């Protein structure tokens, strides 16, 4: 890159409200300049026309700034940034440079630039940033659209470069994902609840029926049946068949019950019932022998003296097992209710969080649209008042960037037209 020397440390200030205007061809060679350009740079018109615009480039300007300038212009977009220029005698001056392509028949034919005076704060900020680039201390920084920004990926930077359509789709996607998450958690919880109900039914409700059948078989099909046979209401042969049938029911239902999930307390009661059932089964075998012998007197004595005392304790223990089933079922239902309440709370918080996220994103989207539009409206208002020093930088790359580009192009063209009008009046 060409280095223009000598340089001094003397700053020349561009007058307030004054604009430097110039145009170049596609190669960057100057084709037009206004009086302000000549006055501040110290060059004559003949020294500038036909020369590359970098004739006023100051060596303090980093190459990255001009690379960004030309990349932006070649993309057909206007560029705005702080530029430090060199006067013919080595002095320097700062400007806010606004450059844009010149179109003829929809084809870029050259470039136009309007420069205005920056504020002292803008100068100090740019000077500090450009020094970092010159000294190789700008790691992680880049110059984009005339502004010094952080390079590399960042969420904030990524969001700024999303179009409005992409942001809307992103919001819809996040909310949809949130709703799917809520729905998935709901389905999972329903599945867990269904599993709990199945467990209560299989391990508590079904065993109640099994224990009832065992108890009824002992009490009705054995003890009561012996009394009916004694009283003549049942024949000995019929009673024998029913007792054998009851034995089958007892063995089958007890086996089914003991194969279910048993708590430690249940196992203890089952062991106690098992001991009592051995005595009851032995008494039942004796009852069958008496029924086969059809000895009514022996049946009367056995039923009262031996059978009832052997079987009645079984019924009491079975009642304890039934009570335990009811207690365990109640406990499991209680746990399910607690879990359901906890899920309701989590579900409500998650749903509220998704709603708040939706509101936050929607507000951010609306503000992100309204603020640039408001800035653009203020820009056009000031421009209509003849202000050439106004700026419009959205720092984003979405649909609204086209508004900023058009506004800056209008500013540059207005500055150029104003400069030509002034020049004509002075002639």
Give the length of the chain. Answer: 427
Q: Which CATH superfamily is domain 20-153+414-426 in?
A: PAS domain (3.30.450.20)
Model pLDDT, residue 190: 72
- The strand pairing partners of 143, in sequence order, are 148
Please give the helix or strand (H or E) that residue 226 lies within, else none: helix 225-230
Residue 131 tokens read as 């020094």
| Chain segment 280-335, per-residue pLDDT in tens | 899 999 989 988 999 888 888 888 899 889 988 998 888 888 888 888 878 877 87
Residue 201 tokens read as 């039914």
pLDDT of 157 over the 90 cut: no
Work out the percent of the chain whose per-residue pLDDT is above 90.
Answer: 36
Q: Alpha-carbon distance 212 to 73, whole Å?
A: 92
Model pLDDT, residue 211: 86
Model pLDDT, residue 159: 66
Q: Between the ranges 165-174, 252-261, 329-338, where is the mean pLDDT highest? A: 252-261
pLDDT of 394 over the 70 cut: no
Q: Alpha-carbon distance 199 to 195, whole Å?
A: 6
| Chain segment 399-414, per-residue pLDDT in tens | 676 677 777 777 777 7
The dihedral sign for the CA sequence 101, 71, 148, 164: positive
Q: Which of the residue ranges 2-6, 25-29, 315-319 would you say has the lowest mean pLDDT?
A: 2-6
**Whether the predicted model's global pTM rises above the 0.75 cut:** no
Taking residues 71-96, report their average pLDDT.
95
Residue 290 tokens read as 């008496």
- Of 376, 371, 405, 328, nearest in space to 80 by CA: 405
Model pLDDT, residue 68: 95
Architecture of domain 167-353: Up-down Bundle (1.20)
- Of 219, 207, 317, nearest in space to 253 by CA: 207
Q: Alpha-carbon distance 249 to 222, whole Å?
A: 12
Q: Where are the domains of the chain?
A: 20-153+414-426, 167-353
pLDDT of 372 over the 60 cut: yes
Indicate if 167-353 has the same CATH topology as 20-153+414-426.
Answer: no
Model pLDDT, residue 399: 65
Model pLDDT, residue 4: 83
Between 344 and 135, the more confident residue is 135
Can you point out the beta strands (E) in 40-185? 79-86, 92-104, 107-116, 141-144, 147-150
pLDDT of 181 over the 90 cut: no
Model pLDDT, residue 161: 67
């Amino acid at each position: 890159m060409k280095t223009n020397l000598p340089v001094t440390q003397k700053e020349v200030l561009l007058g307030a409200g004054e604009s430097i205007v110039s145009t170049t061809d596609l190669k960057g060679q100057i084709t037009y300049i206004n009086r302000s350009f000549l006055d501040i740079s110290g060059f004559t018109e003949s020294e500038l026309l036909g020369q590359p615009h970098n004739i006023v480039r100051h060596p303090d300007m980093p190459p990255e700034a001009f690379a960004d300038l030309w990349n932006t212009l070649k993309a057909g977009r206007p560029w705005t940034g702080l530029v430090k220029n060199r006067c013919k005698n080595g002095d320097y001056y700062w400007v806010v440079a606004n450059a844009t392509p010149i179109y003829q028949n929809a084809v870029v034919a050259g470039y136009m630039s309007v420069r205005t005076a920056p504020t002292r704060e803008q100068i100090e900020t740019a000077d500090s940033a450009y020094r970092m680039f010159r000294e190789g201390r700008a790691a992680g920084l880049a110059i984009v659209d005339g502004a010094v920004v952080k390079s590399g990926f960042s969420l904030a930077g990524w969001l700024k470069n999303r179009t409005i359509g992409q942001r809307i789709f992103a919001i819809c996607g996040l909310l949809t994902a949130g709703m799917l998450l809520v729905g998935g958690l709901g389905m999972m919880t329903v599945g867990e609840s269904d599993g709990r109900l199945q467990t209560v039914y299989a391990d508590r409700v079904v065993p109640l029926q099994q224990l009832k059948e065992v108890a009824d078989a002992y009490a009705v099909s054995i003890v009561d049946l012996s009394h009916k046979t004694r009283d003549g209401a049942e024949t000995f042969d019929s009673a024998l068949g029913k007792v054998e049938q009851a034995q089958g029911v007892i063995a089958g239902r007890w086996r089914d019950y003991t194969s279910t999930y048993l708590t430690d307390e249940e196992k203890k009661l089952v062991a106690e019932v098992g001991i009592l059932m051995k005595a009851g089964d032995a008494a039942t075998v004796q009852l069958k022998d008496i029924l086969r012998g059809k000895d009514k007197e022996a049946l009367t004595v056995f039923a009262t003296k031996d059978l009832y005392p052997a079987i009645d304790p079984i019924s009491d223990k079975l009642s304890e097992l039934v009570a335990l089933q009811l207690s365990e079922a109640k406990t499991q239902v209680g746990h399910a209710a607690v879990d359901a309440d906890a899920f309701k709370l989590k579900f409500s918080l998650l749903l509220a969080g998704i709603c708040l996220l939706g509101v936050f994103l929607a507000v951010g989207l609306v503000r992100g649209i309204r603020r640039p539009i408001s800035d653009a409206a203020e820009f056009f208002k000031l421009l209509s008042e003849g202000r050439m020093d106004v700026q419009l930088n959205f720092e984003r790359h979405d649909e609204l960037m086209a508004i900023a580009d058009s506004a800056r192009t209008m500013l540059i063209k207005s500055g150029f037209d104003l400069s030509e009008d002034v020049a004509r009046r002075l002639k």
